[in-house]
Amino acid sequence: MSVFELHPDRFFDPEPKVRNIARALYENVKNLPIISPHGHVDPQLLADNLPFPDPTELLLIPDHYIFRMLYSQGIPLEKLGVPTIDGSHVEKDHRKIWQIFSSNFHLFTGTPTGAWLEHEFAEVLEINKKPDADNAMRLYDEIQEKLKSPEFRPRALFEQFNIEVLSTTDGAADSLEHHKTILQSAWDGRVVPAFRPDAVVNILMPGWKLEIEKLEKASGMEITSFQSLILALKKRRAYFKKMGATSTDQGVFSPFTHKLSEKEADTIFQRALKGQANINDAHLFTAHMLMEMACMSIDDGLVMQIHPGSLRNHNNAIFKKFGLDKGCDIPVQTEYTNNLRTLLNSYGNNPGFNLIVFTLDEATYTRELAPLAGHYPAMKLGPAWWFHDSIEGMARYRQMVTETAGFYNTVGFNDDTRAFLSIPSRHDLSRRIDSNYLARQVARHIIDIEEAKVLGKVLAYSLAKEAYKL
């Protein structure tokens, strides 16, 4: 049975001088409030504020980082309780699922998921033993008992985690009923929505027509033309903003931007309504909608995010049986300089436009993204994302972008997670990595210690708050 040993200097450089400076810089930021400007926590969790049912429901079911690794080792998703689209049988016994997870906990050794989980167990749940085949049920019962206490209700944890603001991600047609419940409650925790129009923009997405119908209902208007689609989206953005939203987000395969005439856009839209749109139509329509969303952001002030470069649902068998977001999205090579040129030439010099761009293609940081963000006033770089939201990935990010873009053309950190309990773990990891990066700059006399202290707070707190207008 292994014991968690969360070394106070974990993730810092082993060289004594750097480590000592990193330790001091981390102490300066570790207790700052958490700004979580982009995530996927279900707002119903905080609206209902009910006890978490059990450890499996809390830690495993919502976290595709966990079941992705287990699936890669040959463990079927059915055995992990992941719901199927058709409702066919999956494991319902959460103790059995926890046993599988515990018996395979060693698979996460050396991964960011392992680092997050160790922090969650040791710091949040106060469990000092690593899960294994022998102690699985004892740990399950111990955690289950904790979950019964008021201190482990979602809102209590929100406050314990020192979260100043949490942004969720919500579809264009979402009613935001849970956000409304939170706003009308006596609780003063700040939870805001973010506007995500992907489902009504991707005209080849299965169920697209149904999403348009949902948007019609939500906006209270019939959508029979491209112009009416734009009006409906503007109406919904206004409602999101009224409910506290400060940002939008689009997950696209390519960051290609292109301006269509209104007639060209409507011709594609009409083909899509008839089920006759093709791949080229979808490519052009998405490119044009990025332009439209940028224009809307100038009008209403919502910060625009673009998350490109993921080939979604790469594993067809998993997608057909389990649906979206089941750990089988894979990065692709992505180009930005040419693809973003139309958008940046149209709006990148506008002081009223705020654009945050992410990537899964690390090679583009030095070659394209840092130079673009280091020039266009409207553009900032999102943090190391998804597969690169890791110990080495965050270090590489700082090394690749800082000399060209500087610190202030980045936007701090966001946790981008569905797993509520992992939020403080992820922010702690980021603060440690940034403290170590700054310590190396100080040790090499690139910056001095006072500059590093200021930058530490900027990276951990201020940049995200300012960039996302929170």
Contact status, residue 118 vs residue 124, Cβ threshold 8 Å: no
Average pLDDT along the chain: 96
Sign of CA dihedral 125, 186, 184, 196: negative
Sheet holding 247-252, edge to edge: 170-171, 195-196, 247-252, 303-308, 355-357, 379-381
Query: For 35-60, how does the pLDDT look when each residue is reduced to its tens digit (9 = 90+)?
Result: 999 999 999 999 999 999 999 999 99
CATH of 16-51+154-467, one of 3.20.20.140, 3.40.190.10, 4.10.91.20, 3.90.700.10: 3.20.20.140
The HSE-up count of residue 51 (CA atoms within 13 Å, CB side) is: 12
Q: Is the pLDDT of residue 1 over 60?
A: no
**CA–CA separation, 48 and 51 (whole Å):** 9
Q: Return the DSSP state at 129.
A: B
pLDDT beyond 60 at 400: yes
pLDDT band at 3 (very low <50, low <70, confident <90, very high): low
Could you please state the CATH topology (level 3) that the domain comprising 52-152 is classified under. Answer: uronate isomerase, domain 2, chain A (1.10.2020)
3-state secondary structure of 355: strand
Residue 134 clears pLDDT 60, i.e. is over it: yes
Residue 196: per-residue pLDDT: 98
Q: Does the model's pTM come out above 0.95?
A: yes
Sign of CA dihedral 359, 365, 369, 370: positive
Burial class of 264 by CB neighbour count within 10 A (0 to 12, 13 to 18, 19+): middle
Q: What is the mean pLDDT of residues 21-29?
A: 98
Two structure tokens written together for 14: 């082993």
Condensed to tens digits (0 to 9), the pLDDT of residues 242-253 reads 999 999 999 999
pLDDT value of position 255 = 98
User: Residue 113 in contact with residue 119, Cβ under 8 Å?
Assistant: no
Q: pLDDT by residue (tens digit) across 338-369?
A: 999 999 999 999 999 999 999 999 999 999 99
Residues of the chain with CATH 3.20.20.140: 16-51+154-467
Domain ranges in the chain with CATH number 1.10.2020.10: 52-152
Distance in angstroms (rounded) separating the CA atoms of residues 446 and 402: 12
pLDDT in tens, 92-107: 999 999 999 999 999 9
Distance CA 435, CA 308 (A): 28
DSSP helix/strand/coil, 304: strand
pLDDT tens for 271-298 read 999 999 999 999 999 999 999 999 999 9
pLDDT digits (tens, 9 = 90+) for 254-272: 999 999 999 999 999 999 9
